[in-house]
Chain A
């Protein structure tokens, strides 16, 4: 039996008057990949942002319910959000590198934590770039602008940047949706590699991708969690008909 990492209980989220997440409860297992699937607008990104409290930045967003990470309520009033986000890396759908050099992008997080020693930073850059499978492509151009990289390279650099803060959870919102098949394959390989050390949650619109990379799959529909189960089970004999319809493309 695997260890429990994240536990969500009766979570409701509203944007103004509009309910975006409706009574979500789920458990996410440590050092496994959990995929979120579901039609556009069903609340996958919103739920992902719940897990590192990025919704705090949205003005009219209100949340009730409980989210426990390692048994600690992350919506507790006394919890330090900044520290929470340092423990949870996030990779966005569109790569969002800073207009700085490749090197400065990766060490952004460590620098926030007060790491300024040149050797330590160099080590962090090499280590995370190797983890993100981009070291060979950037090692000779660390001082070039990060935005000069290709889209696929930028996305892997975003992953490296997220890893540099040494999180133990990695949230990925459609990290490969804008990439070609080769870059996508690289990122999927990477996810396989990373799950040895990280708990990974990935949003994807690509059913094959969900089937390939994830251990668990959660299906969302209109702000509700329809079901979550082992990926093999969801893709062979899901317990809810809606899930089956969605996966087989008979949705509507």
Chain B
């Protein structure tokens, strides 16, 4: 960057141009160039970091392929006591006959993230509608910061609350197979995702022009008809993007699921059994693993899978949001 600036810089301070008004123009131009190059440098640095992370993750992930192999990430074999060999879907990286199936972890992630997203969609979208369309401005002035404050609570605190209070509450209420289970973790996740969905939904609804509401009311629509037949359809892409981003957050969230899911890598679809997510696995095992071992590379591979999933979710959401922006510029 600096090589580009220097020649022009030298040209500008040459004695022929040292007229007063030109001086002002020149100093303004230098300032402009400096500001521009600062932002260019900052932007480039951020991009380079992301690319480096990407390269690092994928390099280590590819090592996992060389050391372990794709099929081993799906299933493994175990010799039973009677000598028969069974195909199993297990995550047992520390056993002598290590098994690296990601399926129980993937199931664990989905089993916590999907219910959490469903619950959060219902409640979060409703909260967004309430904030944007129904709440009195005074109530909104109070509720919006509360919602944002909620989103800022450290997740370890939420995980702790679920571990101590939430789990006991649901144990007494539903008598689950395991005290800590996927459902408890999902409920914990909703505490993080509801604010995300609610505030993004509110943004999407608020961006719908007042004119459309007036048009609906002018035609004799009730408040609810206006919301359901005009505002929600017009904001459809924004609301769906908020749900997708919420889902991405649910998949990426670590602390809550680590503390509340029970952390047993069960190959199961039962929501009331303990589960273990991909994120929790990395968090729990990365500290103890010896660098360069198969286990180490397997954890990196999980990281790659997570990266790819969240990357695509964000990409989809981004596409939907930019489409929404185009559509709403009347």
9-residue interface stretch from A25-33, A95-103, A116-124, A212-220: A95-103
The smallest beta-carbon distance between B170 and chain A, in angstroms, is: 42
| CB-contact partner of B218 in A83, A99, A100, A162, under 8 A | A162
9-residue interface stretch from A63-71, A86-94, A176-184, A238-246: A86-94
B215 within 8 A of partner (CB): yes
Task: Please report the C-alpha to C-alpha distance between residue A162 and residue B221 in the assembled complex, in whole angstroms.
Answer: 12
Interface residues of B in 210-225 (CB under 8 A from A): 211-222, 225
With A59-B137, A112-B225 as given contacts, are A96 and B219 in contact (CB-CB < 8 Å)? no
Q: Is there an interface contact between A54 and B214, defined as CB atoms closer than 8 Å? A: yes
Q: Is there an interface contact between A108 and B219, defined as CB atoms closer than 8 Å? A: yes
- B215 (CB) vs chain A CBs: closest residue: A96
* Cβ–Cβ < 8 Å partners of B330 in chain A: 147
The smallest beta-carbon distance between B182 and chain A, in angstroms, is: 40
The smallest beta-carbon distance between B231 and chain A, in angstroms, is: 10
| CB-contact partner of A82 in B137, B214, B222, B230, under 8 A | B222
* Cβ–Cβ < 8 Å partners of A113 in chain B: 220
Interface string of B196-217 (1 = CB under 8 A from A): 0000000000000101111111
| CB-contact partner of B212 in A52, A96, A165, under 8 A | A96
* Cβ–Cβ < 8 Å partners of B234 in chain A: 98-99
- A164 (CB) vs chain B CBs: closest residue: B219
| CB-contact partner of A92 in B214, B220, B230, under 8 A | B214
* Cβ–Cβ < 8 Å partners of B154 in chain A: none
The smallest beta-carbon distance between A139 and chain B, in angstroms, is: 22
Q: Is there an interface contact between B211 and A96, defined as CB atoms closer than 8 Å? A: yes
Q: Is there an interface contact between B215 and A112, defined as CB atoms closer than 8 Å? A: no
- A100 (CB) vs chain B CBs: closest residue: B233
- B211 (CB) vs chain A CBs: closest residue: A96
B36 within 8 A of partner (CB): no
| CB-contact partner of A165 in B217, B220, B229, under 8 A | B220
A161 within 8 A of partner (CB): yes
Task: Please report the C-alpha to C-alpha distance between residue A52 and residue B234 in the assembled complex, in whole angstroms.
Answer: 25
| CB-contact partner of A85 in B209, B220, B327, under 8 A | B220
Task: Please report the C-alpha to C-alpha distance between residue A236 and residue B328 in the assembled complex, in whole angstroms.
Answer: 46
With A99-B327, A112-B225 as given contacts, are A85 and B219 in contact (CB-CB < 8 Å)? yes
With A59-B137, A97-B215, A98-B215 as given contacts, are A83 and B220 in contact (CB-CB < 8 Å)? yes
| CB-contact partner of A98 in B212, B217, B222, under 8 A | B212
- A171 (CB) vs chain B CBs: closest residue: B218
Complex A-B: 25 CB contacts under 8 Å: A52-B218, A54-B218, A57-B214, A59-B136, A82-B221, A84-B220, A85-B218, A86-B220, A89-B218, A89-B219, A90-B214, A92-B214, A96-B209, A96-B214, A96-B215, A98-B215, A99-B233, A99-B328, A100-B233, A109-B220, A112-B221, A112-B225, A113-B220, A161-B215, A165-B220
**Interface residues in chain A, defined as those with a beta carbon under 8 Å from any beta carbon in chain B:** 52, 54, 57, 59, 82-86, 89-90, 92, 94, 96-100, 108-109, 112-113, 147, 158, 161-162, 165
Known: A94-B211, A99-B233, A109-B219. 9 other contacts (CB 8 A): A84-B220, A86-B220, A89-B218, A89-B219, A92-B214, A96-B209, A96-B215, A112-B225, A113-B220
